[in-house]
């Protein structure tokens, strides 16, 4: 019988995606992979071919309610985990919120890293070295240290996402049916969570002006991004902000020739889908840590060359947000031409 392994990575979306290569290696080496995940990453874990079972820990719901109201559900999940009789548990979250699950899941071997914070290191009975946190090693590669600890080959970095249902395929086909089929499709995802990750909105506006005659342009984001997108696009082009869920967005990327985005969930999703070429713009965060892994004929990460980059801060320490002005629009246009017309 295959050994049963529990992967504990609750959030955030980017890190959940960066754990998929680890799950694929475990799966390909004969492990039965169960993944404990919160709401933010559940959509990409459930039905993922790298995972045998996804278990939802509704952390976001619990945050909004009194803990004691949720205690029954919490204990039910713990009992279910223990009933699985895991051989191994791997905690890649390495925080207090994963520590409890690691301790109580019942696994014989509980593997954590010296990178753990908030006392999470005490949840394990096997401790590996620190994960790379100097920003020179990609996040997905750093998580593979858990597989190396199990003496598994980590040379192949394989991503995967759940397949699209027929309903999702039909919805996306309907949304893009009026596009000019003679022109390539460029999807733009101009928003993310941190202010210091945002490329200057006037740069976006200028870029759109120089692209709109030769390409189909699609904008994506949440309903909160509509005002920004309307400014950038002058209200033109196909704006799908707030109109697609996670898996629908993935299906849109499968129809996209090129995605232009930031250090964001959209970039990571598109990379995991394996289809579109991607230009990712990095302001405060390091592309060496978060940019799509792959060849330069498919993925280009662009950034400025300021002395203060890449500080990895939510708020600019210099209070100038200077890094958000770069790269220049002409650099992005050059990358577009390079990727779109390279076979």
Give pLDDT tens digits for 103-131: 999 999 999 999 999 999 999 999 999 99
SS3 of residue 59 by DSSP: helix
pLDDT band at 64 (very low <50, low <70, confident <90, very high): confident
pLDDT band at 136 (very low <50, low <70, confident <90, very high): confident
Order the strands of the 4-8 sheet from edge to edge.
Answer: 53-56, 32-37, 4-8, 88-91, 109-113, 126-128
Q: Which of these, 307, 299, 298, lies nearest to 326 by C-alpha position?
A: 307
pLDDT band at 1 (very low <50, low <70, confident <90, very high): low
**DSSP character for 122?**
G
Percent pLDDT > 70 in the chain is: 99
Structure confidence at residue 70 (pLDDT) = 86
Q: Which two tokens stand for residue 15?
A: 């890190």
Summarize pLDDT for 223-238 with one digit per residue, the tens: 999 999 999 999 999 9
Q: Which two tokens stand for residue 280?
A: 């990712």
Q: End-to-end CA distance of the chain: give it in Å, rounded.
A: 45
SS3 of residue 170 by DSSP: helix
Domains and CATH numbers, the chain: 4-149 (3.40.50.2000), 166-340 (3.40.50.2000)
Q: What predicted TM-score, i.e. pTM, was given to this entire model?
A: 0.94
- Residue 238, beta-bridge partner list: 218
């Amino acid at each position: 019988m295959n050994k049963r392994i529990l992967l504990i990575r609750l959030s955030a979306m980017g890190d959940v995606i960066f754990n998929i290569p680890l799950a694929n290696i475990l799966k390909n080496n004969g492990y039965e992979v169960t993944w404990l995940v919160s709401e933010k990453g559940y959509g990409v874990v459930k039905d993922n071919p790298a995972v045998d079972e996804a278990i939802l820990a509704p952390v976001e719901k619990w945050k909004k309610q009194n803990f004691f109201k949720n205690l029954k559900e919490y204990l039910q999940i713990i009992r279910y985990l223990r009933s699985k009789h895991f051989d191994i548990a791997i905690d890649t979250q390495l925080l207090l919120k994963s520590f409890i699950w690691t301790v109580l899941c019942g696994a014989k071997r509980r593997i954590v890293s010296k990178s753990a914070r908030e006392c999470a290191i005490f949840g394990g009975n096997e401790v590996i070295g620190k994960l790379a946190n100097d920003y020179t090693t990609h996040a997905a590669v750093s998580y593979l240290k858990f597989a190396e600890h199990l003496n598994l080959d980590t040379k192949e970095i394989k991503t995967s996402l759940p397949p699209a249902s027929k309903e999702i395929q039909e919805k996306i086909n309907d949304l893009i049916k009026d596009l000019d089929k003679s022109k390539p499709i460029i999807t733009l995802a101009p928003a993310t969570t941190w202010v210091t990750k945002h490329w200057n909105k006037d740069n976006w506006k200028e870029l759109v002006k120089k692209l709109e005659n030769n390409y189909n342009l699609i904008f994506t984001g949440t309903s909160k991004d509509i005002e920004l997108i309307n400014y950038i696009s002058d209200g033109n082009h196909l704006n799908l902000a707030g109109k697609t869920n996670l898996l629908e967005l993935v299906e849109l990327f499968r129809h996209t020739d090129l995605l232009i985005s930031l250090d964001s969930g959209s970039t990571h999703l598109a990379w995991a889908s394996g289809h579109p070429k991607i230009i990712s713009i990095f302001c405060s965060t390091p592309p060496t840590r978060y940019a799509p892994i792959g060849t330069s004929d498919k993925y280009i990460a662009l950034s400025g060359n300021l002395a203060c980059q890449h500080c990895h801060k939510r708020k600019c320490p210099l209070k100038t947000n200077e890094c958000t002005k770069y790269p220049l629009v002409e650099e992005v246009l050059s990358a577009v031409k390079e990727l779109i017309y390279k076979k």
